[in-house]
Chains A and B, each alone.
Chain A
Amino acid sequence: MNKSTENYSQHFTLAELLVHALVIELEAVQSYIDLTDQMRESGNDDVADLFEKMSKLEAEHADKIREKAGDMELPELAPWEFRWSGLEPPENIDLAGVHYLMTPHQALSLALENELSAMSFFDAIAHDCTDKRVRELAKEFADDERQHVAWMKDWLAKYPEPDADWDYDPDPPAAID
């Protein structure tokens, strides 16, 4: 799966790292906002509230990264010019895990996966990058994500695992067109 993105982590400039880090958060914010909307439309308020919290957290994280970037001019990259480790930015929710009846535990599991993949994205750069300063900044970002991972795990522990029939809906789908 990663064949085409091998060695993505070796060559990053500082500015590139910052813009990637920023976009990860901004995309995550948007992703969580979209999911919040979807959950609200489905009447799944518990999970909607969770996603809404998540979007705010990511927004804060985005602000921190902007601060770190300071006055540095960040490159304007087209969406396809970003070098992710997989198909998607690390914190984009895997839609396969989304369901209108999903439970908070599942929502947090998805969020945890995101943080883990963001963490390994930065870890790889911290390890592989040829530029020392970039390695250092990447390590900072990786550590931030590690922190998030820890928070997610704690949070997750507060919610029960879903029941076996968590996705049972007695009503059939509606054909609206």
Chain B
Amino acid sequence: MNAVAPCKFKASDYKSGTKPVWCPGCGDFHVFLGLIKAVAALGIRPEEIAVISGIGCSSRIPAYLNCYGFHGLHGRALPLATGLKVARPDLTVIAAGGDGDGFSIGGNHLIHACRRNVDLTYIVMDNEVYGMTKGQPSPTTAPDWDSKLAPGGSGIPPFHPLVVALASGANFVARAFSGDTKGTTKIVADAITHPGFSFVQILSPCVTFRPDQRNWKNKVHPAPVATTTDPAQAARRVMTDDGFNIGVLYKGSRESYAQTVEPNARSDRDLDEEFFV
């Protein structure tokens, strides 16, 4: 993304004015900022963007945007977004949600969305907790994190969503940090413009249930290596990094999901024809 987009829109053009329900201090405020700055910089008309989400704090985001949105079912943002984009390829479709929504109940859909490689962008605001339901471990929570539902910690290690995305065929994989608005804006803009399924994990601290994440701003750092086009290399890096590398980690060149055969226009009579004896 080198060229400067003509500034037809300001970031504020993408705000619906609805006041977010997020706790003051929530990282999602800055993710929101990064998202609207990105689409403003890209000059995409607000009515041609659809933001699709599941359930959770992060999934409330569509209502705060002056775009079309769908606040759908827990874990099901990706199939909603997929159906929409396949039926309406002219739209810019962005799926969004949290780590519980996306990696737990939505885990299966993540794998297949990566496989399918429909041209859309998936933003997961990862705060390593189920925030909306008041603090349960999520698939990215450390095994020793104490909570009411899992006293003493779940004992189950987190998984590597970026590695799974790479193994499943995602065409663009990145990690960002909500406190780095400039970096997030660039990464999101890159993700949107890159064809195919773009997956961005944005570390976004939960001020209410994970106050320990206040020090994330000191732990994040730009990835020490350049973006790779080799998914296996990217997977190894992500699987062995400290979890705080930010940047575009992988850019692939898969073709976006499309029909594999040309349509063969048939008339209504043709359809009937096959049934005549």
Tell me how many residue pairs across A and B have CB atoms closer than 8 Å. Answer: 102
| B19 with A37: CB separation less than 8 A | yes
Residues of B contacting A80 with CB < 8 Å? 1, 41, 182-183, 185-186, 189
**Nearest neighbor of A99 in chain B, beta-carbon distance:** B25
The stretch from A87-95, A126-134, A149-157 touching chain B is A87-95
A76-B7, A84-B182, A98-B207 given; A177·B25 CB < 8 A: no
**Nearest neighbor of B185 in chain A, beta-carbon distance:** A79
Residues of B contacting A78 with CB < 8 Å? 1, 4-5, 41, 186, 189
The stretch from B118-126, B214-222, B262-270 touching chain A is B214-222
| B205 with A176: CB separation less than 8 A | no
What is the distance, in angstroms, from A22's C-beta to the closest C-beta of chain B? Answer: 14
Residues of A contacting B21 with CB < 8 Å? 176
Q: How far is the CA of A4 from the CA of B217 in the complex (A)?
A: 15
Q: How far is the CA of A29 from the CA of B38 in the complex (A)?
A: 19
| B207 with A79: CB separation less than 8 A | no
Residues of B contacting A3 with CB < 8 Å? 222
Is B178 among interface residues, defined by CB-CB distance under 8 A?
yes
| A172 with B182: CB separation less than 8 A | no
Q: How far is the CA of A38 from the CA of B134 in the complex (A)?
A: 20
What is the distance, in angstroms, from A8's C-beta to the closest C-beta of chain B? Answer: 12
Residues of B contacting A98 with CB < 8 Å? 24-25, 207
Q: How far is the CA of A98 from the CA of B50 in the complex (A)?
A: 30
The stretch from B26-34, B83-91, B104-112, B164-172 touching chain A is B26-34
Report A8-61 residues with CB < 8 Å from chain B CB: 30, 34-35, 37-39, 41-42
| A173 with B55: CB separation less than 8 A | no
What is the distance, in angstroms, from A145's C-beta to the closest C-beta of chain B? Answer: 20
Q: How many residues of B contact A (CB 8 A)?
A: 47
Is B179 among interface residues, defined by CB-CB distance under 8 A?
yes
**Nearest neighbor of B177 in chain A, beta-carbon distance:** A87
What is the distance, in angstroms, from A20's C-beta to the closest C-beta of chain B? Answer: 12
Residues of B contacting A37 with CB < 8 Å? 19
| B208 with A1: CB separation less than 8 A | no
Partner of A79, one of B29, B186, B205, B218: B186
Residues of A contacting B59 with CB < 8 Å? 177
Is A163 among interface residues, defined by CB-CB distance under 8 A?
no
Partner of A95, one of B30, B55, B132, B189: B30
Is A164 among interface residues, defined by CB-CB distance under 8 A?
no
Which residues does B use to contact A, with CB under 8 Å? 1, 4-7, 11-12, 19-21, 23-27, 29-30, 37-38, 41, 55-57, 59-60, 132-134, 177-183, 185-186, 189, 205, 207-209, 214, 217-218, 221-222
Chosen A-B contacts, 14 in total, with CB atoms closer than 8 Å, are: A1-B218, A41-B19, A76-B4, A77-B4, A78-B186, A79-B37, A79-B181, A80-B1, A80-B186, A88-B180, A94-B179, A100-B23, A175-B133, A177-B56
Give the 9 A-B CB pairs with smallest separation, nearest first: A80-B186, A87-B180, A98-B25, A38-B24, A79-B185, A96-B214, A100-B24, A78-B41, A79-B37
Q: A80-B182, A96-B179, A172-B134 are in contact. List 17 more A-B contacts (CB 8 A).
A: A1-B218, A35-B24, A38-B24, A78-B186, A79-B38, A80-B41, A87-B179, A87-B182, A95-B30, A95-B179, A96-B217, A98-B207, A99-B24, A173-B208, A175-B133, A177-B57, A177-B60
